[in-house]
């Protein structure tokens, strides 16, 4: 009686796929299908002209939305900064004071990003020829 031969690596992988539960194969197949479908669907949309610039009111609505969200971001920053400063007055523990200072620094970084992002997109987008930068002004002031 001779021992069974050791299966090759290829045989192991195909046997492994057969023994793999169906639920673990479905997400991978779904992801592949979504990627392929996205490539097929996005191609005709990319070939169209800029839909935002082709309308009358939409560029103004986009500008208004951007100005509104930028204003809300700045107001949110002021509220967070003032609240952190107020709470920092009443805190005695040095570690908590450091935590509030870190939070204020983080809020400041976020506010700078909010304020700089619009003008940066407007300038860089027009230089690169991005379609939205041609007809929408993202500068909030």
Identify the pLDDT of residue 134: 76
Q: Of all residues in the chain, what percent carry a pLDDT higher than 70?
A: 65
Whether the pLDDT of residue 117 is over 70: the answer is yes
Identify the pLDDT of residue 44: 46
Q: For the segment 36-93, what is each residue's pLDDT rounded down to a tens digit? A: 556 555 444 444 456 667 777 888 888 888 889 889 999 999 999 999 999 888 888 8
Which stretch of DSSP H or E encloses residue 120? helix 94-128
The CA-CA-CA angle for residues 85, 116, 74, to 5°, reads 35
Distance CA 66, CA 131 (A): 17
Q: Is the alpha carbon torsion for 20, 24, 27, 28 positive or negative?
A: negative
Distance CA 42, CA 10 (A): 37
Per-residue exposure over 72-107, b if at least 16 CB sit within 10 Å of its own CB, e if not: ebeeebeebeeebeeebeeeeeeeeeeebeebbeeb
**Full-model pTM:** 0.57
Whether the pLDDT of residue 14 is over 80: the answer is no
Average pLDDT, the chain: 75
Tokens 């983080």, residue? 106
Q: What is the DSSP string of 67-90?
A: HHHHHHHHHHHHHHHHHHHHHHHH
């Amino acid at each position: 009686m001779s021992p069974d031969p050791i299966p090759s690596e290829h045989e192991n992988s195909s046997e492994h796929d057969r023994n793999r539960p169906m639920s673990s194969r479905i997400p991978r197949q779904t992801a592949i299908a979504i990627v392929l479908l996205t490539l097929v669907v996005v191609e005709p949309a990319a070939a169209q002209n800029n839909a935002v610039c082709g309308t009358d009111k939409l560029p103004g609505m986009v500008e208004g939305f951007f100005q509104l969200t930028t204003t809300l971001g700045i107001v949110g920053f002021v509220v967070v900064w003032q609240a952190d400063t107020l709470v920092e007055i009443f805190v005695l523990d040095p570690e908590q004071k450091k935590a509030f200072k870190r939070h204020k620094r983080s809020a400041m970084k976020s506010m700078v990003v909010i304020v700089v992002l619009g003008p940066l997109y407007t300038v860089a987008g027009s230089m690169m020829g991005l379609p939205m930068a041609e007809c929408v002004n993202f500068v909030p002031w």
